[in-house]
Chains A and B, each alone.
Chain A
Amino acid sequence: MTGQMFVQHFFNALTLGSLYALIAIGYTMVYGILRLINFAHGEIFMLGAYFIFYTGSLFNLPWVVGAVISIVLCALCGIMVDKVAYKPLRDAPRISALISSIGMSFLIQNLAIVVFSGIPKPVVRPDFFVKIMVIKGVRILPLAVIVPVVCFVLVLGLLFIVYKTKPGLAMRAISKDIETTRLMGVSVNRIIALTFGLGSALAAASGIMWALRYPQIQPLMGFMPGIKAFIAAVVGGIGSIHGAVIGGLILGFVEIMTVAFFPELSGFKDAFAFILLIVILLAKPTGLMGEKIEEKV
């Protein structure tokens, strides 16, 4: 392993990790507020990729406009998912909502197969994203720099909303105690919808960037990244935004570096991600950045 090779792997890992981080934030936000793992999150990510594909191929809209439309549509989809599958179950046992989210995930996947067809579609990428830069023999896609930067900016924006605005205050209050918050006159359902909207918008952003990085989309593309991002969220400490980012990056590095240092184990790339999950759960169940969870009685 030469230094140059290592840097190449480093950038590959940074790109993948940032994408995981973006998806993981959505998981973490919804969990922090509702104590619900939203398994349909990976499907929203997939829809984000499809929306940008269709705005470009059907309506020939410029790329940036397409991205904005895709993010807005996905935010609406996320709110819809909440309205249809989770809101009626707010007072039901948590397991019901979890099962409902798995059902929602399959529903969206299969709808996508019917509507978009199962045949993979090629994504057209603006040259700006794919003009390869060669720096001292290391080949870097602009994306490898853009993705982490975008990820960083989005996370800052999100932290600002959560910690510096009224809705953010309401979100944090709900995550502490949903009943009391409701009694204080906060419209809980509206705040929860906002949470789903924000989380889904981030999923769309990562879906769009995923489609730029891996320019071929298909209806089941959200499944594995969704699971990986979920692991990332747990590793980082579910409920913590910083944790999701750190977890995502860790997962990206574990996957790429496993193959880089042990090419013969490349088939077990996914296994390492899951081993990491098990180790973290055994050693530190709350994750790296997680707070101690007190079971509410």
Chain B
Amino acid sequence: MKALKVFSAVLLVFILVGSAFAADEIRIGVYEPMTGQNAFGGQLTVEGIKLAHEQAPEVLGRPVKLFIVDNKSDKVEAANAVKRLIDKEKVVAIIGSYGSSLSMAGGEVAEKSGIPCITDSATNPLVTQGKKYYFRMCFIDPYQGAAAATYAYNDLEARNAALLLDVAQDYSVGLGNFFKKAFVKMGGNIAGIYKYQSGDQDFTAQLTDAISKGADFLYIPSYFAEGAIIMKQARELGADFYIMGGDAMDNPDLVKIGGDAAEGFSYTTFPYAPEMPDMTKEAETFTKLWRDKYAGTDMSEPNANSALGYDCYMFVIDAIKRANSADPEKITEAFATAKDWPGVTGSTTINETHDAEKPVGIKVIVNGVQVYTASVQPEM
């Protein structure tokens, strides 16, 4: 009996002390694909988040604790991950996920619980559409499509553009439409809109027709697997137009597969690269921190995904500071009212649809290397 009393007393002390600690620390959740098909992007993002956490381990004088969950590149797992972070870990804000479909699955859960989320790189407009608690650190596809058109018209002086779209991918069709809108508005002409389906390997008919219509520019907002083949076939058919794609082309294998045909290919991407000209102070700091931390590993060079992860964490910390509270509702409000927040990936303003309005980066393949050449403010 006595033993039980002592035990209870000890337990009580533990519970009190424990809850005191729990109240003291601020818990932030992260759900990213650490395994599966999107693991490449997810892992880089998480490293960026960790690096930021090392820089800012506390806010409002309270320690920040990170809870990182692997969503396994799977929609069901993503929803479960968010559920676990909210119900079990009691987080006040969530970062994630790489991949639009994963973010959409997680967003459904977070919306019901009223926990603010910010995605690092999901560009599909649907991720935040009609959501009170979901935000993003990156631009959306309409913005990206318009940026491609702006760059094509102003920098490449294209006037007669052909589009080759993957009708099986919303991403591709969406980008194509926004490109067309912006390009026509600026005064360009659309030579033709051609379509194919994911997995197709023969584009000769579409390309032959585009060449005969005198196109001086080809927009292929597709995934790099088809993109590389399209480039090759276009050059084999003697096409000399510029070819441009979207952020899904950002893959080191593009040059390996495209070979000579990839030369001069350009694509829109997130506005950060370690080799970019005129870096902001934030970008310089981040690049140096990353290189110091990962020197000598196979991740010695930072990339846009890690920069977006870093920005997400810092943005959450900044929001907690501005809200002067770790209450989810107040953090959500602080997210929504962010204006000209200086991030590694550019100055960030959250608009009413919860998207970050920031410049779009342009990379061009020169001598087999992807070179960051410009940041474009699209003409919508």
- A-B contacts, 15 of them at CB < 8 A, read A2-B212, A12-B202, A13-B205, A122-B253, A122-B259, A130-B236, A132-B238, A139-B236, A141-B236, A225-B201, A256-B205, A263-B194, A266-B196, A266-B206, A267-B167
Q: How far is the CB of A247 from chain B (nearest CB, A)?
A: 17
Q: Which residues of A contact B237 (CB under 8 A)?
A: 8, 139
Chain A 1-26: CB-based contact to B (< 8 A → 1; otherwise 0): 01001001100110010000000000
Interface size for A (C-beta < 8 A) is: 39
Q: Which residues A48-82 have CB closer than 8 A to chain B? A: none
Whole-angstrom distance from the CB of B251 to the nearest CB of chain A? 9
Assess whether B208 is in contact with A120, with CB atoms less than 8 Å apart: no
Q: Mark A219-232, 1 if CB is under 8 A from B, else 0.
A: 01101110000000
Query: Given the complex of chains A and B, what is the CA–CA distance between A119 and B37 in angstroms?
Result: 10
On whether the beta carbons of A255 and B225 are closer than 8 Å, the reply is: no
**A87 within 8 Å of B (CB atoms):** no
Decide yes or no whether B174 CB sits under 8 A from chain A: no
State whether the Cβ of B192 lies closer than 8 Å to any Cβ in chain A: yes
Determine if B205 and A9 form an interchain contact, defined as CB atoms under 8 angstroms apart. yes
The answer to whether B229 and A12 have CB atoms under 8 Å apart is no
Residues of chain A touching chain B, judged by Cβ–Cβ distance below 8 Å, are 2, 5, 8-9, 12-13, 16, 118-122, 130, 132, 134, 139, 141, 210, 214-216, 218, 220-221, 223-225, 255-260, 263-264, 266-267, 269-270
Within the assembled complex, what's the spacing in Å between the Cα atoms of A5 and B208?
Answer: 7
* Bound-complex Cα distance A118 to B238 (A): 31
Number of A-B contacts (CB under 8 A): 89
Complex CA distance for A292 and B332, rounded to whole angstroms: 72
In contact, B205 and A259 (Cβ under 8 angstroms): yes
Q: Complex formed: what's the CA distance from A235 to B70 in Å?
A: 49
Chain B 175-211, CB-CB to A under 8 Å as 1, else 0, gives: 0000000000000000011111101111011101100
Chain A residue numbers with a CB within 8 Å of B192 are 263
Asked if A264 and B199 make an inter-chain contact with CB atoms under 8 angstroms apart, the answer reads no
B208 lies within 8 A of A8 (CB)? yes
Q: From residue A261, how far is it (CB to closest CB) to chain B in Å?
A: 9
Chain B residues closer than 8 Å to A214, beta-carbon distance: 201-202, 229
The residue that B37 contacts in the complex, of A8, A13, A118, A223, with Cβ under 8 A, is: A118
- In the complex, the answer to whether B196 meets A263 with C-beta atoms within 8 Å is no
CB-CB contacts of B231-273 with A at 8 A, as 1s and 0s?
0100011100000000000000100110100000000000000
Is there an interface contact between B238 and A122, defined as CB atoms closer than 8 Å?
A: no
A259 to B256, Cβ gap below 8 A? no
- A13 to B192 alpha-carbon distance, docked (Å): 21
Query: Which residues of the partner chain A approach B225 to less than 8 Å between Cβ atoms?
Result: 120, 216, 218
CB pair B228 A259 closer than 8 Å: no
Which of B37, B195, B199, B253 has a CB less than 8 Å from the CB of A267? B195
Decide if A259 touches B257 in the complex (CB within 8 Å). Answer: no
CA distance A267 to B229 in the complex (A): 17
The minimal Cβ–Cβ distance linking A226 to chain B, given in whole angstroms, is 12
Q: How many Å lie between the Cα of A215 and that of B197 in the bound state? A: 18
Most buried by A among B205, B209, B257, B259: B205
- The answer to whether B253 touches A120 (Cβ under 8 A) is yes
Q: Which residues of A sit under 8 angstroms from B236, Cβ to Cβ?
A: 130, 132, 139, 141
Closest to B167 in A: A267
B202 partner, pick from A221, A255, A260, beta carbons under 8 A: A255
- A118, A120, A225: which contacts B257 (Cβ < 8 A)? A120
Find chain B residues with CB under 8 A from A119 CB. 253
Q: A216-B225, A256-B205, A259-B209 are in contact. Are A269 and B196 (CB under 8 A)?
A: yes
Check A264 against B193 for contact (C-beta < 8 Å): yes
Closest to B257 in A: A122
Q: Name the CB-closest residue of B to A256.
A: B205
Minimum CB–CB distance from A211 to chain B (whole Å) comes to: 10
B205 touches A266 (CB 8 A): yes
* B239–chain A nearest beta-carbon distance, Å: 10
Pick the contact of A223: B195, B199, B257 (CB < 8 A).
B199
Question: Chain B's nearest CB lies how many Å from the CB of A248?
Answer: 14
When chains A and B are docked, how far (Å) is the Cα of A119 from the Cα of B196?
21
Point out the residues of chain B lying under 8 angstroms from A257, CB to CB.
205
Of A12, A120, A141, A221, the residue contacting B205 (CB under 8 A) is: A12
Measured CB to CB, the closest approach of chain A to B199, in angstroms, equals 6
Q: Roughly how many angstroms separate A35 CA and B200 CA in the complex, as a whole number?
A: 30
